[in-house]
Amino acid sequence: MSDVSQSPLLRNFVDGRFVSGEREFDDVNPADGTVIARVTEAGAQLVNDAVIAARKAVLGEWGRSGVRQRAALLYKIAEGIEARFDEFVRAESDDTGKPRALASRLDVPRAAANFRAFADLIKTAPLEAFDTETPDGKLALNYAVRKPVGVVAIITPWNLPLLLLTWKLAPALACGNAIVVKPSEETPASATLLAEVMRDAGVPNGVFNLVHGFGEGSTGEYLVSHPDINAVTFTGESRTGSAIMKACAPGLKSVSFELGGKNPAIVFADCDRDETIAQLGDGIFLNTGQVCLCAERVYVERPILEWFVSAMKRKAESLKIGWPAENDTQLGPLISTPHREKVLSYFRMARELGATIVTGGGVPEFGDARDHGAYVQPTILTGLPESSCCVTDEIFGPVCHVAPFDAEEQAVAMANDTKYGLAASIWTNDVKRAHRVARQMNVGITWVNCWFLRDLRTPFGGVGLSGIGREGGMHSLNFYSELNNICIKISG
């Protein structure tokens, strides 16, 4: 056990200063259960201070700042993240247990890329304009100008903490808003480091505020129900999205929700076999399966079912589960032991329902401090009915259920038979079929022969329980700004 009194204290950042909150809670490393930091929780008063500081910033110089000034600031923040790259990697990996190699390849570079992408975009974002013929035969010009929404609340989850926070923060800043962020209570470290980067980059006081704490009955709820918040952007569980929507209803705050998924992959017999196993293997197990886009339902054309199951089993068993800091580690722990308990409860239910556990299904044993961590084995299930909870619920672990199909229409129907609708992937070399099937997917994102291949200009979001709205590129700019249409009569 670590000496908690020696742990660093992660504080809130309000109006340009680091401040303590009311109570403290532990920040735990899920690789071995040690307390790595203490975190000070923002109560209702501090949340209110943060919203007041943000409002002051919007009403002040920042609210009148120009696009070039804001874009320059965003580039500076990107550079600030890169200058402290290793600290971010360590913070992200220690909080989540994800391999440092993964944080170095994905989370931290994407954080910097998010700022650059929206700095580029805001500089070139077009305005809409129309010449309008008037009833008296004259002409009017209609054009829309972009204004900040005001004070934006950002609430983020623990799986890709910095990536998802900056994905929302960068366009919100680009559009001239002031922001109050609440990261997940499980992963407070990278957001705290980001507050230092923001301060050092010269972000004006009150423009970026960070409050730490929990959701219901705590910081998150105080924030989303605060009457002076204009918009709430949230990534997390569908259930939480519904609670947040309720809190936003009285003030009619606008919302953008990126929520859970139970994503299908459809593997046709003509797929490129090695590529499919390599890339869909990531699509099932990356980040220990804790990516909202991961495939938890895999439908395989019957003639290659046996091959697929044994090849994916080999892939799962080849993944090196280890200490996050070791270079060759491919799989870290889950986020926490309570989350592992949830994942293991699905493994137990699968067994009770008569599933075949092709591989995994349990907890690895290390004989060292990792046995106090939240590790779980990568797991493949077969033989469950489509109606079973293991096939309908988002498990959010390194696990998938594999089922056969005989006809394309059957695969499409099974893939779409869900309340979620975030991402689908299709694996085939038949280009006509790829287009045909992709268009039938009832999701926000369809990948063909790839997975999690991102272009930050594209629409990103889900249907059904997977979300409300789209972010990415112009979709983000449209959420984080208000358009004021100006109609000016030109002649007469």
Binding region for ligand 6OH (CB under 6 A): 159-160, 164, 167, 258, 291-293, 454, 460
41 or 258: whose CB is closer to ligand 6OH?
258
Shortest reach from residue 182's CB to ligand NAD, in Å: 6
Q: Which one of ligand 6OH, ligand NAD, none is in contact with 454 (Cβ closer than 5 to 8 A by kind)? A: ligand 6OH
- The number of angstroms, rounded, from the C-alpha of 431 to the middle of its chain's C-alpha atoms is 30
Contact 454, 249 (CB under 8 A): no
Binding region for ligand NAD (CB under 6 A): 155-159, 164, 182, 184-185, 214-216, 220-221, 224, 235-237, 240, 243-244, 258-261, 292, 394, 396, 422, 462, 466-467
54 or 374: whose CB is closer to ligand 6OH?
374
Q: Which one of ligand NAD, ligand 6OH, none is in contact with 167 (Cβ closer than 5 to 8 A by kind)? A: ligand 6OH
221 is catalytic: no
Shortest reach from residue 138's CB to ligand NAD, in Å: 48
365 is catalytic: no
Q: Which one of ligand 6OH, ligand NAD, none is in contact with 259 (Cβ closer than 5 to 8 A by kind)? A: ligand NAD
Residue nearest to ligand 6OH (CB): 292
403 or 465: whose CB is closer to ligand 6OH?
465
Among the listed residues 185, 258, 296, 394, the single catalytic one is 258
Distance (Å, rounded) from C-alpha 475 to C-alpha 459?
Answer: 6
Shortest reach from residue 6's CB to ligand NAD, in Å: 26
Q: Which one of ligand NAD, ligand 6OH, none is in contact with 473 (Cβ closer than 5 to 8 A by kind)? A: none
23 or 239: whose CB is closer to ligand 6OH?
239
Among the listed residues 175, 248, 271, 292, the single catalytic one is 292
Q: Which one of ligand NAD, ligand 6OH, none is in contact with 467 (Cβ closer than 5 to 8 A by kind)? A: ligand NAD
276 or 476: whose CB is closer to ligand NAD?
476
The catalytic residue positions are: 258, 292
